[in-house]
Each structure stands twice: as C-alpha cells, then as structure tokens.
A = this chain, B = another copy of it.
Amino acid sequence: LDDGAELVSVLHDRMRDLLVGVVGGTEGTTAGVIRLRSLAARGLLSYPIVAIKDAVTNQLFESRHGTGQSAMDGIVRATNVLLAGMPIVVAGYGWIGKGIAMRARGLGAQVTVCEVAPVAALEACMDGFRVLPMKDAATEGQVFITATGSACVIGAEHFAVMRDNALVANAGHYDVEIDVAALARSAVARRPVRELVEEFELADGRRIQLFAGGRIVNLAAGEGHPAAIMDMSFAHQCLSVAFLVARAGHLDATVLSVPKEIDQQVAALKLKSLGVRIDELTEEQKRYLATWSDGA
C-alpha cells in the first residue's frame, strides 16, 4: 500500500531482493500513479499495481467533497476570515478545484476560476463561475487557492498586481504551485502573522499573506480529510488487495484501474453505513435493457 510510489522506488532501486514474492500493490496518489505509469512504460515495473486514486468514487468523493471541505476549513481555521462576499480565485477546475469552488460558493464567496483546458473552463463557466485568466483574476481576488497540478501558477506578475492583504494558498500539487521564491524576492520584509500564515511586505507597501509556505492547505491546517472520506479510500485499498491476491500470477506488471465492481461495492457499502436504501432493477427492467440494447 503505497502513497507517492515511495515504497516502489525503494523496492525497485535499493532492495530488489525483497521484490521476490510481491504479488501486487496499490497506489493512493495521482503523483504516484504518474510515476508508476512512466516506470511501467519503460518496462521496469516488477508487479501489478492498482491505482486507487483513479477510482471513480475516489475522484467524486475524496478529491471533490473531501478536499473541497477540508481546504476551505483549513483556510477558515488559519485565518478566521469571513467567506460571505469574499472574492476567491480558484486556479484549476479538476476534481479538487471543482470541490473547492463549490464549497467556497456554498459558503457565500464570489468565486472566479482560472483554467488552461477549454473543456474544464467551459464547465466552470456553465456551472455559474466567472472564468478569467490569472493575470486579470489577480487584481480582483482577495483569497487565491491553487489546484492545477502544475508549477508556478501564481508568480511574480500576479503578486505585482494583487490587492493589499491578498491571501495565497495551495490545495494542489506539492508546494510548487505558488512561486514562493518569486514572492520572497519581491518582498522587503516578511513576518509571521498567525500560525501558518506569513506576511510578505512588498516595496509599494502592499502585503501578501502566504499560507503554510505554499504547502497543501488541508494537510497543513485542520485534520486532513474527514474519516468519512478516508474509510472509502481504505475500502478501495482493502478490496484491491483481495483482487490482486485472487489473481496472483495472472496479471501483467502494469498500472491497473480499480475494477468497476469494486467502485460499485465500495459505494454500496458506504450507502449502507449511511442508512441509505436504493432501488434495484426488476426482472422486467433487466429484460428490457438487455433486449433493447440488442436493437430489438
């Protein structure tokens, strides 16, 4: 059970003798999956690995609802800011960005979204969010949250035009989304103002508040994801291990998706734990669907 392909790296690099007898593995992060895919593409992966992060339920629930809530919660805990009426800029409209934008709006904020991908940008637009290039959004936002998976999404040209006391925070990818080095270079002074919040004073007197040094907000503040989200991730890992063991020796040494059946099973278990009952297809409906798709 790996996060970030750390264990895989050690096993494949320095402790290859332990690779013997390994039936399979699971990987819980997007970053890890990307690295594993690269490893597999070069023919270097020694055993099959299930990419938990790619499970539909993981994206829908952990990335969107889990991070959406915990990122906003982290910001409130660290700053005690009132979100009602607050102009908030969310960079990136993937699952995490969607979750943050949705929750920020649910808390009364005025949300603007920045994107590079046209489909995601259009989706944000039709979801009712204002969509702007970061250069324009930088002048209007008071709180900025990055969740793009890329680097230097907020940099020197943006700090140069932000409002006084703008707060910048990262909910995405390591600590590289905010160009902290550029912020430090443009500052004439820096001081801590609250736990986790550091203030950078610029030459023109404006101040930029940096959250957690650019590290991931919901891990730095608060308690990370609620238990009610992590239970689903752990269920995925547990069921994926069972899947790997049951097929030991019959799977290619590649990165596998979580089987659709496990997604449905995890969702069904979660609904049960919440006391939510759902419908079942009747025999008649099963018959109809089967017949109809045959083109009858």
Interface residues on A, range: 35 or more
Among B65, B228, B271, the residue within 8 A (CB) of A81 is: B228
CA distance A68 to B118 in the complex (A): 22
Residue contact A288 to B38, C-beta cutoff 8 Å: no
Could you say how many copies of this chain the assembly holds? 4
Among B38, B275, B278, B281, the residue within 8 A (CB) of A121 is: B278
Among B61, B115, B128, B149, the residue within 8 A (CB) of A122 is: B61
A176-190 interface with B by 8 A CB criterion: 176
Among B81, B131, B151, B228, the residue within 8 A (CB) of A285 is: B151
Question: How far is the CB of A282 from the nearest CB of chain B, in Å?
Answer: 7
B residues less than 8 Å from A149 (CB atoms): 289
B residues less than 8 Å from A108 (CB atoms): 65, 69, 103, 106, 126-128
B residues less than 8 Å from A152 (CB atoms): 282, 284-285, 288
B residues less than 8 Å from A264 (CB atoms): 117-119
Residue contact A285 to B150, C-beta cutoff 8 Å: yes
Apart from the given pairs A108-B127, A150-B285, 4 other A-B contacts in the complex at a CB distance below 8 Å: A35-B293, A85-B128, A85-B274, A109-B128
Query: Which A residues have a C-beta under 8 Å from some C-beta of B?
Result: 34-35, 37-39, 56-57, 60-61, 65-66, 68-69, 73, 76-77, 80-85, 103, 105-110, 114-119, 121-123, 125-134, 136, 149-153, 163, 176, 222-223, 225-229, 263-265, 267-268, 270-271, 274-282, 284-285, 288-289, 292-295
